[in-house]
Every structure is written in structure tokens, then in C-alpha cells.
């Protein structure tokens, strides 16, 4: 059920100050950051080698099932495999490994160069290029800041969608800020939007809103007053990803509910537009369960 632990950041352990002078202590903190980043880079490379074997097996199975031999995105291969005999073979752990490895490995070459060049000074640079960091190399503060940014953007998108808010909705706390709440129409709507045709039919304002809610596009484009040029493609791929991930969680939701770790619950919720900052595991799992209930 859970994604491989190697796809998450390694522990970041700081030394105790003890009797060390300030310069020595700061140097040791820098060494701790350097070790953390190198461990993350090595984890990404190890995940790549594991995922490569899985990809080879899946592509070979797809060829045998009649999929034409032509270049296509990884998600295209996974969707075909899942719908053509792979439902009982694919585990959520393998699915998450493949999807997360693809995301991280694209960022590995430039980031590994940054680690080699800047080493323990890298934490001073990362805040300026957060999206350039593989998931395995994100420090806890960076993860928290990125989640807060996504939720602020989501809240603003919901707020802009109300032309005349009711009095009780005039402050931020009262405004709807999440895709949770047991509204069955929402996941079904997303399921129906999995093709580009449905996204186009929905209209640009609505599809942009869905993109912001799901954290697609980034705040930089919002600040510049423009839209991400590839947001329809990114939205379609994300919905295709959620379609498979939802089914893998629903295969045995009781088991998923019991075994899904706290961090994996956070990741699953944020991928579905559900707020996670400052919330407990049980509360998040309840909202995730409502989302999945709407997918049935």
C-alpha cells in the first residue's frame, strides 16, 4: 500500500551543540545537510535501477498484449498494463515507485551537480529553486513551506470562485479550502475529465481552477499573471494517475486505511486537493476515505 521508503527523504539528523564553538557547530550542521543531500541522490539512483527492471517487464507485457511499438509516456504504458491483465499484478508500492522515480530522476542530473558544487551551502540556494529538488532531497521545512504554498493557492482559487460570499464565508477560515467533504460529484467529475476532450469542454476558467486546487502549475505563473502553457496536459496526466491510484487504494480500503503511514496519507491527500498542514492522521484518512467513497 505504501510507497517505498526509499522514495521519501532520508532522516536529517543534526549534531548536538555540546561544548563546540559556534563555527565548529555550524560546520557540523553543514556536514549533516551535505550527507542528507547525498543520501537523497543515492536513493534516487537506487530507485531508478529498481524501476528500470519493472518498466522493462511492463513494456514487454504490453507488447505481448498488442500495444503498438511506439514512444509513449510512462503513464500511458501503466494505464494500458493496468487495463489489460495487470490489475491483479500491479501493487500500489510498485506504481508509486515508478511514478515517483520518473519525477525524481528527471531532476537528478542538475541537482547532483548542485550538490557537488555547493555541498553544505545548498540549503541557502534551495529556497530559490524548490521545484528543482527531487522529492528524496527535500528537507522537512521545504516540504512544509511547499505544502503551505499549495494550500494558500488553493484557498485563493476557491475564494475567487465565489462571486457573492455569504456573511459566514467572509473570512478565510470559513471559506471552503479543500476538495474533501464527501461530495461524490467531485471525484466523479475528475474521473470524467481524464481525456483532453472533457477538459476542453469544461472551459478554461473551470479547468484552471481544478489545476490550482490540485497544485498544478505553480505560484510563479500566478504571480506573473500568466497560465502554465502545459496545464491541460499536466491536468490530464494527473487525473490519469489518480484514476489508477484510487483503484489501487480501493482494492482493499480497510487494509489501506490501517496500513497507510502518516506521511503516505499526507501525500495521497495533497495529490487529491485535500488540505494536510496542521491536520492529524485520522482526520486526513477520514477525508481520503470520503474521496475514495465518491470514486466507487
Give me the pLDDT at residue 166, please: 43
Give me the pLDDT at residue 195, please: 54
Per-residue pLDDT in tens (0 to 9) along the chain, 296 residues? 999 999 999 999 988 888 888 888 988 898 899 899 999 999 999 999 999 999 999 999 999 999 888 888 899 999 999 989 888 899 999 999 999 999 999 999 999 999 888 877 888 888 888 889 999 999 999 999 999 999 998 888 887 764 333 444 444 444 444 554 434 445 555 555 555 556 656 667 777 888 888 888 776 666 666 666 677 788 888 988 999 999 999 988 888 888 999 999 999 999 999 999 999 999 999 999 989 888 76
Cβ-proximal residues to 206 (8 Å cutoff; 6+ apart), any chain: none
Tens digit of pLDDT for each residue in 102-154?
999 999 999 999 988 887 788 888 888 888 999 999 999 999 999 999 999 88
Give me the pLDDT at residue 162, please: 43
Please report which residue ranges of 4-162 form alpha helices under DSSP H: 22-64, 74-81, 92-118, 140-160
Give me the pLDDT at residue 225, please: 61
For residues 154 and 274, give the distance between their C-alpha atoms in angstroms, rounded to a whole number.
Answer: 10
Residues 146 and 130 in one domain: no
For residues 281 and 286, give the distance between their C-alpha atoms in angstroms, rounded to a whole number.
Answer: 9
Measured over the CA atoms of residue 201, residue 191, residue 228 and residue 176, the dihedral's sign is positive
Residues 154 and 282 in one domain: yes
Q: What is the pTM of this model?
A: 0.85
Q: Which of 104, 121, 137 is the last residue of a domain?
A: 137
Residue 260, φ and ψ in degrees, nearest 5? -65, 125
Number of domains the chain contains: 2
Residues 266 and 160 in one domain: yes
The boundaries of the domain holding residue 133 are 1-137
Residues 99 and 150 in one domain: no
Give me the pLDDT at residue 87, please: 87
Q: Is 18 left (phi over 0), alpha (psi -120 to 50) or beta?
A: left
Q: Which residue has 498488442 as its cell numbers?
A: 66
Residues 54 and 164 in one domain: no
> In the structure grid, which three cell numbers stand for residue 122, read together?
545548498
Longest pairwise C-alpha distance within the chain: 68
**CA proximity to 5, closest of 34, 46, 33:** 46
Give me the pLDDT at residue 82, please: 92
For residues 87 and 194, give the distance between their C-alpha atoms in angstroms, rounded to a whole number.
Answer: 19
Q: Which of 87, 110, 137 is the last residue of a domain?
A: 137
Tens digit of pLDDT for each residue in 215-244?
887 766 666 666 666 777 888 889 889 999
> At CA 202, angle to CA 99 and CA 147, rounded to 5?
40
Residues 35 and 115 in one domain: yes
Residues 295 and 150 in one domain: yes
Give me the pLDDT at residue 165, please: 38
- DSSP 8-state code for residue 71: -
Q: Are 100 and 46 in contact (CB under 8 A)?
A: no
Give me the pLDDT at residue 50, please: 97
The DSSP annotation for 205-259 comes to HHHHHHHHHTT-S-HHHHHHT---TTHHHHHHHHHHHHHHHHHHHHTTHHHHHHH
> In the structure grid, which three cell numbers stand for residue 77, read together?
504504458
Q: Which of 137, 165, 182 is the last residue of a domain?
A: 137
Amino acid at each position: 500500500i505504501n510507497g517505498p521508503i526509499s522514495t521519501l527523504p532520508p532522516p536529517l539528523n543534526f549534531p548536538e551543540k555540546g561544548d563546540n564553538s559556534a563555527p565548529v557547530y555550524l560546520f557540523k550542521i553543514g556536514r549533516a545537510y551535505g550527507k542528507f543531500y547525498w543520501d537523497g541522490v543515492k536513493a534516487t539512483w537506487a530507485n531508478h535501477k529498481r524501476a528500470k527492471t519493472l518498466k522493462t517487464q511492463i513494456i514487454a507485457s504490453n507488447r505481448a498484449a498488442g500495444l503498438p511499438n511506439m514512444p509513449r509516456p510512462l503513464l500511458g504504458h501503466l494505464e494500458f498494463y493496468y487495463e489489460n491483465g495487470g490489475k491483479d499484478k500491479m501493487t500500489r508500492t510498485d506504481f508509486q515507485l515508478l511514478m515517483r522515480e520518473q519525477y525524481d530522476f528527471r531532476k537528478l542530473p542538475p541537482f547532483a551537480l548542485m550538490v557537488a558544487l555547493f555541498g553544505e551551502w545548498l540549503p541557502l540556494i534551495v529556497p530559490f529553486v524548490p521545484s528543482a529538488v527531487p522529492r528524496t532531497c527535500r528537507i522537512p521545512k521545504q516540504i512544509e513551506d511547499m505544502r503551505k504554498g499549495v494550500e494558500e493557492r488553493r484557498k485563493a482559487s476557491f475564494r475567487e470562485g465565489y462571486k457573492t460570499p455569504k456573511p459566514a464565508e467572509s473570512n478565510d477560515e470559513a471559506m471552503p479550502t479543500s476538495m474533501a467533504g464527501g461530495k461524490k460529484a467531485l471525484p466523479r467529475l475528475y474521473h470524467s475529465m481524464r481525456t483532453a476532450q472533457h477538459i476542453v469542454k469544461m472551459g478554461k476558467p473551470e479547468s484552471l481552477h481544478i489545476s490550482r486546487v490540485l497544485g498544478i502549475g505553480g505560484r510563479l505563473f500566478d504571480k506573473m499573471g500568466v497560465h502554465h502553457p502545459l496545464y491541460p496536459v499536466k491536468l490530464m496526466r494527473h487525473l490519469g494517475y489518480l484514476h489508477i491510484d484510487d483503484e489501487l487504494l480501493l482494492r482493499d480500503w480497510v487494509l489501506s486505511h490501517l496500513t497507510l503511514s502518516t506521511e503516505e496519507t499526507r501525500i495521497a491527500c495533497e495529490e487529491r486537493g485535500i488540505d494536510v498542514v496542521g491536520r492529524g492522521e485520522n482526520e486526513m484518512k477520514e477525508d481520503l476515505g470520503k474521496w475514495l467513497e465518491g470514486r466507487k
